[in-house]
Chain A
Amino acid sequence: MTNPPAKGDGVPAEEPAPTAGGDNGLTVPPAEQFEAAMEDEAAEQAVAVEETAAVTRRKPWILRAAIYLTTANQVMVTVYSLILAAVVGAILIIVSDPYVRSTWGYFFSQPGDALSASWDAVATAYGALFRGAVVDPDKLNRWFYGMADLDAVLRPIATTFNYSAPLIFTGMAVALAFRSGLFNIGAQGQAVVGAIGAAIVGFSFTGLPTIVHLPLTLLGGLVGGAIWGAIPGVLKALTGAHEVIISIMLNYIGGYLLLWVISTKFVHSPDRTDAISKPASESALFPSLFGAGLPANWGIVLAVVVAAGMSWFLARSSLGFRFRTVGANPAAAKTAGMGVAGTYATAMAFGGGLAGLGGATILLGSTSHALTPSVAGTIGFDGITVALLGRAKPLGVVFSALLFGAMQAGASTMQTVAQIPVDMVTVLQAVIVIFIAAPALVKGIFHLREAKVSGQELSMAKGW
């Protein structure tokens, strides 16, 4: 009746369904995603399908690699976003340095001055960032000749690990919810409540062996976060309340809950007048990873193991399958008999538990091992960024958390050596996310090809 004419003779016109737009691709669910492992394969198949050859004739690997590198698939968009962010950062470094700015004043008489000064400024800053986050080649060299101890060599990477471990957890908290079609803005509150749970378990027991006390402490964090995450999930399931609004509000409530908890007699440290809780017992702490002098602990190992577990969970467990199905197409999940509302609640509780572990990890990794008003920093909000950068995949989350942890670890070295304020790192992180959230921009700048597989192009910013 109101149908467009049939596209080909003899083929019945595809009638748009009365309720949703039919098969026209406009009804792409918000969260269409693949397992990381399937992605390369899918891209390959897209190429194969595109060729429409009856025989799937494989192109030489170098050509396929070139096609891959110039296609706007998720991995390459991320890589190009990082490059672009580095360029934007470099421009900011150049502009913010008074001396370099002055050399640009006489650019046309002596362009060499401006260019070399700019290069020096950028190289010094990024070099310092690297030395502060990964390894200082100079120290490595001296250690090799026995003139420095190993601690000095490992300190940067240890600092990175210590920053990264909680980010892996909160990143996964956001990613898991996202895979289930939810936008978990509440990782911050969940991490805070997780830290409270872990701290209470941590200082309440003394004399337990670490093998018992540490898991109990982590469990405290997990349960605290899971409860905080379950609240928006259950409210969504029962009343349809939007999880974004509820979880934002719970962030505030969690923050003030923390202040109140610290002030209670049960929790507040009797030896101190400022707002700090009793410290967790020695037995509740993670064993040190590289030795007592360095900040890294086994939290990073736990985080990576849990990330691997989540990857397995999504790919191999029936609950993970349900999460992914509900996330990719809730209507189809409902038709297939899955309980969509229940899945939402469960996924939020799972996500909250992961964020709670993040809160526990940051508590145990801090120098005081105690609750302070800023114990969780901004790991919950950073977790959103990490999940975005990691494309909501466990492996991606681990890498992006390591990158963000490294940037935080290197920031102070950059400030000391190159006089670039630590806030530059925050700006860089924000710029990365802006590019990730606007894949069309990256695609346009680098003239990338269109990714052909449906669901490949994912903008997490469209989640709600």
Chain B
Amino acid sequence: MNVLYGLLTPDSGEILIDGVPQTFHSPRDALRAKVGMVHQHFMLVPVFTVAENIMLGREKTSGVLLSRAAARAEVRELSERYGLDVDPDAVVEDIPVGVQQRVEIIKALTSDCDLLILDEPTAVLTPAEIDELLDVMRTLRADGKSIVFITHKLKEVKAIADKITVVRRGRIVGTAEPTTGEDELAAMMVGREVSLTVDKTPARPGEPVLEIAGLSVLDERGQRAVDGLDLEVRAGEILGIAGVQGNGQTELAEAIMSLRPVLTGTIMVNKCPATRSKTRQVIDSGVGYVPEDRSADGLVKSFSIAENLVLNQYDKPPYGSGFMINPKMINKVAEERVAEYDVRTPSARTPVGTLSGGNQQKVIVAREMSRKLDLLIAAQPTRGVDVGSIEFIHKRIVAERDTGTGVLLISSELDEVLALSDRVAVMYRGRILDIVSPDTPREKIGRLMAGLTDDQAASKEPGA
């Protein structure tokens, strides 16, 4: 979609608008071709008024003075025509998210576009706001505008769409009519690709190493990302969390690591309360963590591999003691780890930033797994990683389980979850909907991931 809006240029292929091939080098080109876009993250200036935001970038002037009146009139006119109910003089940061989104829509409409792209517009809205948005979209459709509505919520698609296209991993996997059953759509979303095969023996679960009860955690926007979640991971098993991204998985992992404050509920690691611990204490109590965003949270790119390998162990023997660290030992151990974990690099002193994604991930895996663990939290452990490295990392995770570590695997790749897990917990809107066996048909898991429990699916009631 960023290609269509001119933010990215395509590596290959072409875009046809009304049958004419177009090349978009910038959003300006896209606007000229009457393509407008409402981004998932709003592109508004918070301290400006609605009218000021609308005229941003194409200010109408009389001489050197901005003609605010014209912008205000434009907002009022569009607002009335499509029933948007937006006050042109309101300051953007003071109005609710749903209204901000309508400001974005007005902004797209003022450039007189025929094609409107809405990128996950409902992700930030409350149910009532979603209903209003769907009404606005119907009005726009009635006015002859085309809308590309991107979402992962099946109910919304069925409620509004005239034609449905399912995209997975950058490819169209199928098209469907809005009358298609939700089961079928879910199945298309989840895919039927050949499963990854991982050799593993049946798990021999032991004592619980992670017990979570009634956990609630807020996200950056202050919404409950994790909402009364209960979960238990036992020693020697891999518990996989399946779920569409953005259902609280990130916040769950960060809460366990004490990187994010817990609102309510308890977390027990090895039967010791860890709800209000410091991250350091959690790490020291034998918890390994592969963060989902390795660039931001996992690595210091300008540091050498060796330094990254001791990022959370730098002051512990044999790497350091008291005030000193021991670079010789750090480098020596790093050479061993590089060999053991098959990190492809000229030397252990190479800056991590120069390595490929797969090798960077192996550095994190090496760091976390080369100490004695009781619990491993692996969030998106193979995201953006080449196939060879995926296989290697999977083997390592299973090997770690076999030494008696409890593994909490969080992945938005269902294939990965099914291949590795001994039990699969499906997470939806901050809760675990169900815990199933990895042999469960993926259609069923897909339905759960879309928030449909069996009784709901049976009644086919598109409530919301």
Interface positions of A (Cβ within 8 A of B): 1-7, 10-15, 17-20, 22-23, 27-29, 32-34, 38, 41-42, 45-46, 48-49, 56, 315-319, 321-322, 324-325, 328-329, 331-339, 452-455
Contact = CB atoms under 8 A, between A and B. Distances in A.
Given A11-B387, A453-B354, A337 B280 contact: yes
A32 B386 CA distance: 26
B126 interface: no
Interface in B285-343: 289, 291-304, 307, 311-312, 314-315, 320, 322-325, 327
22 contacts: A1-B119, A5-B10, A12-B385, A14-B357, A17-B296, A18-B250, A23-B360, A27-B295, A28-B301, A45-B351, A46-B354, A316-B327, A318-B324, A321-B325, A328-B301, A329-B296, A333-B300, A335-B259, A335-B289, A336-B283, A453-B351, A455-B301
Given A14-B357, A42-B351, A454 B301 contact: yes
Contacts of B412: 15
Interface of B: 1-3, 8, 10-11, 40, 119-120, 150, 152, 167, 169-171, 220, 245-246, 250, 257, 259, 278-280, 282-284, 289, 291-304, 307, 311-312, 314-315, 320, 322-325, 327, 346-347, 349-351, 353-354, 357, 360, 383-387, 412-413
Contacts, number: 172
A19 B293 contact: yes
Contacts of B307: 321
B218 to A, nearest CB: 14
Contacts of B315: 318, 321
Contact of B292 (A3, A17, A34): A17
A339 B283 CA distance: 13
Contact of B293 (A3, A22, A46, A333): A22
Given A3-B169, A23-B295, A321-B320, 17 more contacts: A20-B293, A20-B295, A32-B302, A45-B347, A315-B327, A318-B320, A321-B315, A325-B311, A328-B300, A332-B297, A332-B311, A333-B300, A334-B297, A335-B289, A336-B311, A337-B280, A454-B354
The 8 nearest A-B residue pairs measured at CB: A455-B302, A454-B353, A14-B384, A337-B280, A32-B302, A336-B312, A318-B315, A5-B170
A339 B315 CA distance: 14
A337 B170 contact: no
A2 B353 CA distance: 26
A318 B383 CA distance: 32
A33 B413 CA distance: 35
Nearest to B312: A336
A328 B307 CA distance: 12
A335 B245 contact: no
A2 B303 contact: no
Contact of A48 (B152, B311, B346, B384): B346
Nearest to A28: B301
Contact of A329 (B171, B300, B346, B386): B300
A430 B119 CA distance: 48
Contacts of A6: 169-170
B314 A317 contact: no
A38 B170 contact: no
A317 B257 CA distance: 26
Contacts of B303: 324-325, 328
A66 to B, nearest CB: 22
A18 B221 CA distance: 13
A306 to B, nearest CB: 17
Nearest to B293: A17
B1 A454 contact: no
Nearest to A318: B315
B325 A318 contact: yes
